[in-house]
Amino acid sequence: GRSVHQIQSGQVIVDLCSVVKELVENSLDAGATSIDVRFKNQGLDSIEVQDNGGGISPQNYETLALKHHTSKLSTYSDLTTLQTFGFRGEALSSLCALSHFSVITCLAADAPKGTKLEFEVSGKLKGTSVVAAQKGTTVIVENLFNNLPVRRQELQRNIKREWNRVIGVLGQYACIQIGIKFSVSQQAGKGKKTTLFSTKGNQSTRENIVNVFGAKTLTSLITLDLNLELEPTSGPSQRWSTQEDGEKKEIRIVGHISRPAYGEGRQTPDRQMFFVNARPCGLPQVLKAFNEVYKAYNASQSAFIFANIELDTHMYDVNVSPDKRTILLHDQNRMLENLKVALTELFESQDY
């Protein structure tokens, strides 16, 4: 039968996309400057994420994949000012329960050898062996959902849609992260490995966008830099926890957007990207506001949007769902009103 552990794990790791997000965020948390994501059969056979980050110390091998073991959170107050992506220690433990899971890690840059760690379904360390490795960590997830047949079938049935979402999300990380090389490749069956895209450790999101979406994208893009100031309110429901009376909320939205005159046809979701403090996320209400303004200028097309919303960590909540996919923005309606005004001003200031 299915254990409680397996059922709970299915709430953190809900699909292919959550696997990829958790592993990439772990690599970023580990200080990697190079992240290589390799799929076999679109992830149905395996997903491997290799990084050149800090690696895992031997004293953490035993507890690595146990539930709620994390090296990242030291005090409760850290929860409100989260700097790292991870903090719950649930991803690796969940992956043990939901796949054939192993890790290869190597601490020192000059060591020619690393350690391969294999785990039991419970997250208990099964054994270690010495293997060839470079500095950093490789996490290998094989046969995802092999022990949840219904979930596995669902994944196989929806693989095309899932795959598009996964590649879209990886493109988002690759574009937003400055100075980090991303490479994403896929191998179908026994076929040749093909690289889907790679970034070069660029110093700007523009260069990243060129690497991921091609140079042609740039011809239509203008710089997005909106400063929204929300006047102070007195109602406690609109105040975030540490906001002083009379303190303004400042929100900056930076990135790139199509100039309305350059239509690009209908955009697919992977070309309409939103981030909150560099964390990729779906923000349907914000997208709707962008589309509304853009449509007033160019009714037949939609915009390429790359928008990072920078705001105080107290002004949103990422911890509403275990998969961290839902983000709640405080005082969202007032923010959207200001956003539409600022975006209209930006478009008005362009020469056509």
Give contact residues for Mg ion (rule: CB under 5 A). Answer: 26, 86, 91
Residue in 109, 95, 81 with CA at minimum distance from that of residue 23: 95
Rounded to whole angstroms, the Cα distance separating 62 from 40 reads 28
SS3 call for 25? helix
In the beta sheet, which residues pair with residue 132?
A: 113
Task: Kindly state whether residue 54 participates in binding ligand ADP, applying the rule CB under 6 A.
Answer: yes
Residue nearest to Mg ion (CB): 86
**Minimum distance, C-beta of residue 314 to ligand ADP, in the bound complex (Å):** 21
Residue in 17, 312, 302, 335 with CA at minimum distance from that of residue 155: 17
**Minimum distance, C-beta of residue 313 to ligand ADP, in the bound complex (Å):** 17
Q: How many residues bind ligand ADP (CB under 6 A)?
A: 22
- Contact predicate 24/84, CB 8 Å: no
Rounded to whole angstroms, the Cα distance separating 214 from 212 reads 6
Task: Kindly state whether residue 101 participates in binding ligand ADP, applying the rule CB under 6 A.
Answer: no
Which residue stretch of 54-62, 140-148, 223-231, 324-332 sits at the interface with ligand ADP (rule: CB under 6 A)? 54-62
- The interface partner of residue 166, options being Mg ion, ligand ADP, none and the CB cut-off 5 to 8 Å by kind, is none
**Minimum distance, C-beta of residue 164 to ligand ADP, in the bound complex (Å):** 25
| Identity of the residue, 23 or 305, whose beta carbon is nearer to ligand ADP in the bound complex | 23
Q: Which of residues 2-41 bind ligand ADP (CB under 6 A)?
A: 22, 26-27, 30
Written as six digits, the tokens of 187 are 């191998």
Written as six digits, the tokens of 216 are 């042609």
Q: Which of residues 161-220 bind ligand ADP (CB under 6 A)?
A: none
Written as six digits, the tokens of 207 are 């260069």
**Minimum distance, C-beta of residue 70 to ligand ADP, in the bound complex (Å):** 3
In the beta sheet, which residues pair with residue 106?
A: 136
Written as six digits, the tokens of 102 are 């192993």
**Minimum distance, C-beta of residue 193 to Mg ion, in the bound complex (Å):** 26
- Contact predicate 19/42, CB 8 Å: no
- The interface partner of residue 147, options being ligand ADP, Mg ion, none and the CB cut-off 5 to 8 Å by kind, is none
Q: Which of residues 132-151 bind ligand ADP (CB under 6 A)?
A: 137
Residue nearest to ligand ADP (CB): 86
Residue 4 main-chain phi, psi, to 5 deg: -55, -40
For ligand ADP, the binding residue among 39, 87, 101, 306 (CB under 6 A) is 87
| Identity of the residue, 26 or 211, whose beta carbon is nearer to ligand ADP in the bound complex | 26
> Which residue type, as a one-letter code, is found at position 19?
V
For ligand ADP, the binding residue among 15, 36, 48, 90 (CB under 6 A) is 90
**Minimum distance, C-beta of residue 106 to ligand ADP, in the bound complex (Å):** 10
Task: Kindly state whether residue 282 participates in binding ligand ADP, applying the rule CB under 6 A.
Answer: no
Residue in 183, 193, 172, 185 with CA at minimum distance from that of residue 306: 172
SS3 call for 129? strand
Residue in 203, 250, 206 with CA at minimum distance from that of residue 224: 206
**Minimum distance, C-beta of residue 68 to ligand ADP, in the bound complex (Å):** 9
Written as six digits, the tokens of 34 are 């190079």
Binding site for ligand ADP (CB under 6 A): 22, 26-27, 30, 51, 53-56, 64, 70-72, 86-93, 137
